[in-house]
Structure 1
């Protein structure tokens, strides 16, 4: 298994990973990925197994509105693994590599929306308990998580401000009238579509 940066010729395969992982709803995720890729210069990593892309994670720039000044931070979203490769540690490996790279780049904080039972293994914890405020009241408190990296300083607290693509795709938190698949993902320990999108608007209870 080769974990590496996404290449231009991987784009169709990355889109296919999201379409396969999320069925009819994969288009929403895939479209978000394409917009993020074109607008915010993401860290986009893939799991390549013999020339086939079987997993993908994206980290993108957002801002922390801290009292002293705006701080550039990163958001982990989305994370997806092909259904036939689920629960093989692929998603975990992608997250670990991404955090290592961001640490080396001097990123102070990484945020996400996801299952604390899954992401706590990487060091993520409730953002509210660390002095951070979520960008929308529609985000469940338990889903709003952050990990502080070595570059973080004590004064770096405040409100997370998502980059424009998340708002453009209405991909922040949960709406009052949630699609049935979101409700399934919140209620069931097994995802209905065999993959995960751990990020804004999709809070599952499992990870890859």
Structure 2
């Protein structure tokens, strides 16, 4: 398996990967990926490739931390997908670790996400609220709101995490009550 930057020629394969990995929500994730690419042309988009096939994808895009001193440029990890037949084999973890290493080299102080704490704790993420960060929405379960603090992080960098408008426009923040539709 090889991890590399996503190329424009990978986009159809990446979209199909998200459709497969996210099932009923796959098309919504594809639309989020498209919108995030448009919103953040400098996004870090990585693919895992095996035998010339894209088997995994992770996207890191710009966001903000509303800290007491000033706004801080941070990143958000979303989405992460691995083709179903390759899940539970380290592909996602490899993508995340590689991305965190690159972001750390760029001086990014922190990376936020919404996800399963049992999975992401192994990759260096911790419960963000316990570290002084506030969720941007109460629909995000507290355990799912996580952060990886990188070497550029300083103790004064606490406050409210702010998603880019794209996440709000795509209605991709927190859980929705599907019974009330």
TM-score, with length taken from structure 1: 0.84
**For residue 10 of structure 1, what is the aligned residue in structure 2?**
10
Change (3 A) 1:178 1:172: farther
Cα distance in 2 for residues equivalent to 1:134 and 1:24: 26
In structure 1, list runs of 5 or more residues that go unmatched: 180-208
Q: Structure 1 residues 157 and 178, CA, compared in 2 at 3 Å: closer, same or farther?
A: farther
Query: What is the CA-CA distance between 1:178 and the residue it aligns to?
Result: 5.6
| 2:20 counterpart residue number | 20
- The residue aligned with 1:192 is none
Structure 2, unmatched stretches of 5+, are none
Secondary structure at the counterpart of residue 88 of structure 1:
coil
Per-residue CA distance 1:61-85 (angstroms, 9 max, x = gap): 0000001100000001000011111
The 3-state SS of whatever aligns with 2:77 is strand
1:85 aligns with: 86
Instruction: Give runs of aligned pairs for residues 26-175 of structure 1, distance below 5 A.
Output: 26-41=26-41, 42-175=43-176
Shift of 1:21: 1.2
How many equivalent residue pairs? Answer: 179
Change over 3 Å in CA distance of 1:86–1:178 after alignment to 2:
farther
- Alpha-carbon distance in 1 for matches of 2:106, 2:179: 37
**Counterparts of 1:168 and 1:144, CA distance in 2:** 20
RMSD: 1.1
